[in-house]
Structure 1
Amino acid sequence: MGHIFYDLETSDLDRNFGQIFQIGMIYTDDDLNEIERKEIRARRNPWIVPSPGALLTTGFGDEELEDEKTSMFEFVTELKSWLNDKDWPLTFWGYNSLRFDEPVLQNALHQNLEEPFLTSSAKNWGEPRNSKSDVLSFVKAVHIYAPDVLTLKEKNSFGSVSISLLKVCGQNGIGLNEETAHDAMADIEATLEVARKLKKEAPKIWDQMMKMRSKDDVENFMKENSVFAYSNAPQRGNFVAEHMMATAVAQNAGYANEHIVFDLRYDPAEYLDKTVDELVALLKTEDEDHWKQPLHTLRKNQQPILMPQELAGPVMPDDLDEETLKMRAKMVHSNADFQKRIAEAAKKARPVFEDGAEPEQQIFDFVGRAHNKDVKNWMEDFKSGDWDRRAELIKDFPKRFEQALKDQPSIRRFQTFAQRIMFADAPEKMDDTAQQKYAEALYNRLTTEDKDVPWMTLPKARAQIEEIVEDRKTNPDTRWKEKTDEQIAELRTYYDRLETRLKTAAFGASDPGNDNASEANKTAQKQNRNPKRGM
């Protein structure tokens, strides 16, 4: 078993529509000794407009974005090959990775025709699965349950303890600063150093949090501990936690990754007879009121901070003794009907999350059993074939999956992803008409004035530049205060060059807004008002 510490630098904070530009990875043994490291960079995908904030943060410019030899498809292929060579099962680590890097990596795999949930998959059927861990969760747990290990005195703009990687490293003698941060290798080197410090100086908390790496681990812990401490610490840079002594009640009847726990500061007798609708109302309470009732949702696949009673001292209420905790937990566990109503209430209370219309938003629209094997075989054939074979597979997709597309139209996304890969990596394998139409659709997609499209566009990027400029003028504490006018000007120039490239690819030397432009180009300009979705 090994460990992969990784960090991403991306085009955007959007986890569906952003692109990875750089990944830094360090492979270690169980003692966190480095075995091997790997860095991969990718050039900008043709359908990606990087956000101004991302470019100012990473320092990436035209050379890194446009001239890198490795395409995103090649990036993913190289990444999979390197990981497959390691000793599975692997634990994947990052800093704030469960909230950001993990879903971004999933989407990159999905959009390049790979199994998206690699970090929780098995290499072969029946073998142990990989697991996920987040050093940020460990920092939070150690700060709560072993507060002398880390120096965390700096506050953020919310007035709470700042636990950003940069602040944690800066206060604890780990070499990361403003100049080196936001390079994937520098960030992951620092993340590994933080992990080593926590493992060495807070071994009991470390060992306990290692038991929280998977849904199965969390379920086993809750079965073995009828009473435990639960610290609800949202997975974000500002640190605010709610603590309780809790007991597990029931799994959400509609979502296996969620479990409802009962805050034992409250007497269960007052809640055992409530109806499903009354329990739904409690689960739906928000903000401060949510913490004034006993029912709380725990995400088992997000490494929750759970501690056994022997480690719960820092959060144990003074007015609760062990006998009272055991008695209240027993009341909950001995009432099967209450548990059943809680499971149903959790299902009814959970918001409905629908897959979006765009291919990037359909990662959780899993292919049905009837067509899953054939779709997987098609993807494997695409990845192993040459470009001529790939072109054939794209062309034949509608006929091959005629019934599948009737049963589940979202399956077409795999053809869309393959077409994008072809356009990015081997456009010469497309006929001239198809290539031209694709370039025009791309121009329309990225220059649309429609503010409601979910992806980054050139007009959106330019508007964000102006917001940054205004923020630098009016806010002395802006995160952009160290950036220069020259850097802002370089951003504007980059987006101008990008638009010129798009226009040239779509329309050649002619300007689609010119009176002398061809009728086809004028039509394409009109279509810009209705950007190509699902391209």
Structure 2
Amino acid sequence: MRGDSIIYDTENSSLNRKFGQITQYGGIRVASDLQIKEEQSLDIRLLPWVVPSPGACRVTKVGPEELTRPDRLPEFSAAKRIYKFMDAGYGQPINFITYNGLEHDDKFLRELFFRNLHDPWFTSGALKTRIDLFPLVQLIHAVDSKALVIPTTEDGKFSYKLDRIAPANGIELKAHDGLGDAHGCLDLIKIIIERAGWAWELAQINGRTANATTSIQKSVTDVKPLWLFTHFGEPEFIPVFPVAVSGKDAHFCVDLRRKDYREVFEGNKDKLLFKGSCFHRLEPKRLPTFVSEDLVRKAGIEFDALELLERAEEINGDLAFKADLTAVLLEQKYPKLANEQSEDRLFPFMTNTAKAEMRRFVEAPTWEERLRCRFTDPRSRDFAARIILDAHLHGDAEVSEKLVQQVRDICQPIMNRPFDGADARWFTLSHAMAEEPDQAWIDWALEYYGADPRLTGEVPVKVDKDVLAAEPEATPQLAFTF
């Protein structure tokens, strides 16, 4: 592999990736020969406005009393240390390796860096490779079922969870611990290289956004099928052909096994992507798993290569269909969020002026100097106010009463988040109570948040098939009981 690799894992306050919080980070930096160069393990203090999921506490066996301990690392300090640990240095290649991290850990880290005034696009760049071991393990099992031991659940289904995969393959794992899971991933990589070297080589190719873009463009230029591997319950090798572009860099493709692509399009113009559709949306930045025709045959998949090629040529020559599809995609509009938050505003990118202001705040040697920082971008101003308030509430920074009040005014909607209803997009006390917390969690919450009606049972929480129902909001509490 080119350069060092960072193998990492996070434990989090809930499954809410945009508004939740990393509570533990574990990372290992290894050289190209997989020898460990450096490790990092951080326990991060819960932010005052983030409600810890009782379910997450049960899984990690870390209760809310532990998450709010004053000696845990403040999130702002943790963000600086993690960012430095994961930085390759200018002009240096680096590899980011996770287990189910593309849809989970990376999004939590992106929000962590964003709201702590660092560059959130830490995995982007021509010299950066991203490898997610989760779909790689699924691909290996689909092609060579004997390469890895895949355990099954009680109902006979294969389980690809790391805490099941690792011990089944002789790996000692401290599960649901950031550094423990990172070490488990390192051991798993070594096994993959030994038993399925072809998969590791393919992962490095598929792990670069530029390669995904090239594969899509080559399929269009050569008018040939592009083989895509997916796994939504069952493994599937899908021959697709790119037909149109949606947005900046999303490619709509047709499943070449389907003859009815025209009929599906005509009958579903308002929603082309649904279960059973012949259309697929591929984004290079999401690193789709492309495989060769030979690998598909090795997996035991039978297909008529000539028929697929002829259908690709047919679709490519159907100029009216491609024009109609492009027109439909251009007309698609995405409604703006009614209650947009700073976390929702990853775009537009920060200007150079805003980036300089962020660096000045982050690198300031004292809190007094941070208090004097000014921001032209309202997102930076909002996040800086939160950082200062968190530090003040925990005694990390001395702030005058006048400035404290200004910061509180900015942060008031954020401080009210725990008390919002079950229809909120962030994890609230309503969501927590729907997870049926034990009495210890409730006792902690009563002391931490005060006697909120949800915690005392005065406002019942209804659950319908695990979907939290909206409910009347209680009068919001304007300050926590520290």
User: 1:265 is matched with which residue?
Assistant: 257
Cα distance in 2, alignment partners of residues 323 and 63 from structure 1 = 61
One-letter code aligned to 1:94: T
- Check whether the contact 2:229–2:237 (CA below 8 A) recurs between aligned residues: yes
State whether structure 2 residue 394 is matched by structure 1 residue 423. Answer: no
- The structure, 1 or 2, with the larger RCO (C-alpha pairs under 8 Å, 6+ apart) is 2
* Aligned with 2:266 (options 278, 281, 303): 278
Instruction: Indicate the SS of the match to 1:381.
Output: helix
User: 2:404 is matched with which residue?
Assistant: 435
Q: 1:500 to 1:317 in 2, by over 3 A?
A: closer
- Check whether the contact 2:31–2:37 (CA below 8 A) recurs between aligned residues: yes
Cα distance in 2, alignment partners of residues 203 and 63 from structure 1 = 42
Instruction: Indicate the SS of the match to 2:202.
Output: helix
TM-score of the pair, normalised by structure 1: 0.74
TM alignment of 1:58-457, pairs within 5 A: 58-61=60-63, 62-84=65-87, 88-121=92-125, 128-155=126-153, 160-176=157-173, 180-224=174-218, 226-234=224-232, 239-252=233-246, 254-256=247-249, 258-267=250-259, 278=266, 281=269, 284=272, 286-287=274-275, 289-290=276-277, 294-314=278-298, 318=302, 320-334=303-317, 338-348=321-331, 352=334, 354-355=336-337, 357-367=339-349, 372-385=351-364, 386-394=366-374, 397=375, 401=376, 411-426=377-392, 428-435=397-404, 438=408, 441=412, 445=416, 448=419, 450-457=421-428
User: 2:434 is matched with which residue?
Assistant: 464
CA shift at 1:442, angstroms? Answer: 7.7
Q: 1:260 to 1:136 in 2, by over 3 A?
A: same
Cα distance in 1, alignment partners of residues 344 and 313 from structure 2 = 42
Give CA-to-partner distance per residue, 1:327-374, whole Å, 9 cap, x none: 33333345556444444444556x726356343532433147xxx122
- Check whether the contact 2:342–2:382 (CA below 8 A) recurs between aligned residues: no
Cα distance in 2, alignment partners of residues 353 and 443 from structure 1 = 23
Cα distance in 2, alignment partners of residues 149 and 83 from structure 1 = 31
Greater mean deviation of Cα atoms: 300-309 or 436-445: 436-445
CA shift at 1:218, angstroms? Answer: 1.0
More helix by share: 1
One-letter code aligned to 2:368: D
Where does the alignment leave 5 or more consecutive residues of structure 2 unmatched?
453-472
Q: 1:33 to 1:336 in 2, by over 3 A?
A: farther
One-letter code aligned to 1:454: R
- Check whether the contact 2:48–2:415 (CA below 8 A) recurs between aligned residues: no
CA shift at 1:227, angstroms? Answer: 2.5
CA shift at 1:324, angstroms? Answer: 2.5
Q: 1:277 to 1:39 in 2, by over 3 A?
A: same
Cα distance in 1, alignment partners of residues 151 and 87 from structure 2 = 41
Q: 1:317 to 1:249 in 2, by over 3 A?
A: farther
User: 2:56 is matched with which residue?
Assistant: 54
Q: 1:99 to 1:285 in 2, by over 3 A?
A: closer
- Check whether the contact 1:218–1:300 (CA below 8 A) recurs between aligned residues: yes
One-letter code aligned to 1:112: N
One-letter code aligned to 1:89: P
Cα distance in 2, alignment partners of residues 227 and 366 from structure 1 = 35
CA shift at 1:490, angstroms? Answer: 2.7
Cα distance in 1, alignment partners of residues 334 and 20 from structure 2 = 24
Q: 1:442 to 1:496 in 2, by over 3 A?
A: farther
Give CA-to-partner distance per residue, 1:417-448, whole Å, 9 cap, x none: 10111112246543325536839948961552
Cα distance in 2, alignment partners of residues 248 and 110 from structure 1 = 33
Q: 1:454 to 1:295 in 2, by over 3 A?
A: closer
User: 1:474 is matched with which residue?
Assistant: none
Give CA-to-partner distance per residue, 1:293-335, whole Å, 9 cap, x none: x3322232223222111111155653x4333233333333455
- Check whether the contact 1:107–1:360 (CA below 8 A) recurs between aligned residues: no
CA shift at 1:173, angstroms? Answer: 1.6
- Tell me which structure has the larger Cα radius of gyration: 1
Cα distance in 1, alignment partners of residues 309 and 81 from structure 2 = 53
Instruction: Indicate the SS of the match to 1:388.
Output: helix
* Aligned with 1:494 (options 409, 431, 444): 444
CA shift at 1:97, angstroms? Answer: 0.5
Where does the alignment leave 5 or more consecutive residues of structure 1 unmatched?
122-127, 402-410, 469-487, 503-526
Cα distance in 2, alignment partners of residues 300 and 90 from structure 1 = 18
TM-score of the pair, normalised by structure 2: 0.82
Give CA-to-partner distance per residue, 1:96-135, whole Å, 9 cap, x none: 10111111100000000111111114xxxxxx34232210
- Check whether the contact 1:118–1:130 (CA below 8 A) recurs between aligned residues: no
One-letter code aligned to 1:182: H
- Check whether the contact 1:445–1:528 (CA below 8 A) recurs between aligned residues: no
How many residue pairs get matched?
445
Give CA-to-partner distance per residue, 1:382-437, whole Å, 9 cap, x none: 1222322221225xx4xxx4xxxxxxxxx422211101111122465433255368
Q: 1:285 to 1:217 in 2, by over 3 A?
A: closer
Q: 1:447 to 1:65 in 2, by over 3 A?
A: closer
One-letter code aligned to 2:434: Q
Instruction: Indicate the SS of the match to 1:97.
Output: coil
Cα distance in 1, alignment partners of residues 414 and 132 from structure 2 = 39
Instruction: Indicate the SS of the match to 2:104.
Output: helix
CA shift at 1:30, angstroms? Answer: 3.0
Q: 1:192 to 1:156 in 2, by over 3 A?
A: farther
CA shift at 1:82, angstroms? Answer: 2.3
User: 1:42 is matched with which residue?
Assistant: 44
- Check whether the contact 1:107–1:363 (CA below 8 A) recurs between aligned residues: no
CA shift at 1:498, angstroms? Answer: 1.5
Identity rate, percent = 22
Q: 1:153 to 1:84 in 2, by over 3 A?
A: closer
Cα distance in 1, alignment partners of residues 439 and 116 from structure 2 = 34
Cα distance in 1, alignment partners of residues 33 and 154 from structure 2 = 33
Cα distance in 1, alignment partners of residues 206 and 439 from structure 2 = 47
